[in-house]
Structure 1
């Protein structure tokens, strides 16, 4: 059976999606190198190799592009560590996620710097990350696995430790095993009794050298 030729609208939509992805990829590089405040949209257009006006067809403001980059960065790792969501213990899920973010930053500095430099400007970093963190903290607090003054206080501790842990690795300031150290510190802060064991559980994500 002969496949139906793509319509002009479908071709246009696919081309637009490719251009948008190209712009987000270029913006990731630019923001990682210069930070979220310095670059203008024209800088991103130049890095993507497109006309200056092209970028405005996809993003009206720099903030909109910044948010798109932040969401994309979070979605990428969210899919990579999806198997961890099957773990039943919220403490194990939380610690494993923290470790993966910090380890991936060390393995892929461009991605890591993009996340670190954008995090406090365009947070939260994507729907998937927000929902996963919320689920882990809610289950941990409601079950008594975590002790914290409030949901917001717990989220601030996790996000702050994770971002600063990534930055320490990227700047070459972190000792070996820093990802596990940060996870352990967070779990101890939440009064998890078996924090030492949980913070060092094998991640077991095949195909990801930084999550062995």
Structure 2
């Protein structure tokens, strides 16, 4: 039998575990797209993934942990799609509004996703961690650049924005909010962090055209801003 480098053997093992974990996440995602999250069982997941039931517990403690992983992957996917446009925007308030609009649009397109994302982000600290970090960057810039931003700390503003977003996603999932409420939800977030009515109107007017990237997972090139956006919130 040929000798295998122990380092390479460990690397192969890690790659195999990563592939199997990805299979389980993909299987759960496919199931959630077809049926209510609450109706999915571990047996359903392993059958969909084509793995043994014991394999599931090698990677996840229980079904809620897998559900959280699915939600986090979905949040990361949308966050990655919005980054090219976000980075082209200099105005931090407009960046905040654009990021929120992407997640709201995705929720409106898929209320089932909205429900999973809202529940998991509210109950699991790691879900949406990357998106929260980017949002905090934009909030810090807003607080630093705007005289209105000093009314609250960046940390408090982050929790306010995230709290409103989770409530909006949950309401969309329950069909209590619809596309008619989209602009109002974004405006409420902006007002909550200190923008006045005129500034809110200015931001909404300059919000980049939202194509289908966040809604359907199309490549980010589908969503292009009208122009490079600079300047303050007024």
TM-score, normalising length: structure 1: 0.78
- The DSSP-based 3-state class of the residue aligned with 2:59 is coil
2:107 counterpart residue number: 105
State the shift of 1:70 in Å: 3.1
The answer on 1:48 being equivalent to 2:49 is yes
Given that 1:96 and 1:199 are in contact with CA atoms closer than 8 Å, whether structure 2 keeps it comes out as no
State the shift of 1:137 in Å: 1.3
User: Unmatched 5+ residue regions in structure 1?
Assistant: 1-6
1:3 counterpart residue number: none
Tell me: CA distance 1:47–1:148, structure 2 relative to 1, closer, same or farther (3 Å).
farther
Given that 1:30 and 1:44 are in contact with CA atoms closer than 8 Å, whether structure 2 keeps it comes out as no
Tell me: CA distance 1:209–1:203, structure 2 relative to 1, closer, same or farther (3 Å).
same
1:4 counterpart residue number: none
User: Unmatched 5+ residue regions in structure 2?
Assistant: 1-7, 216-222, 225-234
Aligned mate of 2:125, from 123, 126, 145: 123
Aligned mate of 1:92, from 81, 94, 98: 94
1:125-164 aligned at under 5 Å gives the runs 125-144=127-146, 145-164=148-167
Post-superposition CA distance 1:72-105 (Å, at most 9, x none): 1221101110123311111101111111101101
1:32-71 aligned at under 5 Å gives the runs 33-35=36-38, 41-62=42-63, 64-71=65-72
The Cα RMSD (Å) is 3.0
Name whichever of 144-153 and 177-186 sits farther off: 144-153
1:174 counterpart residue number: 177
State the shift of 1:17 in Å: 3.1
State the shift of 1:30 in Å: 4.5
Given that 1:98 and 1:162 are in contact with CA atoms closer than 8 Å, whether structure 2 keeps it comes out as yes
TM-score, normalising length: structure 2: 0.72
1:173-212 aligned at under 5 Å gives the runs 173-193=176-196, 194-204=199-209, 208=213, 210=215
Alpha-carbon distance in 1 for matches of 2:151, 2:195: 11
Tell me: CA distance 1:169–1:62, structure 2 relative to 1, closer, same or farther (3 Å).
closer
The answer on 1:82 being equivalent to 2:87 is no
- The DSSP-based 3-state class of the residue aligned with 2:149 is coil
State the shift of 1:61 in Å: 4.4
Given that 1:45 and 1:51 are in contact with CA atoms closer than 8 Å, whether structure 2 keeps it comes out as yes
Alpha-carbon distance in 1 for matches of 2:86, 2:124: 24
1:18 counterpart residue number: 19
Aligned length: 204
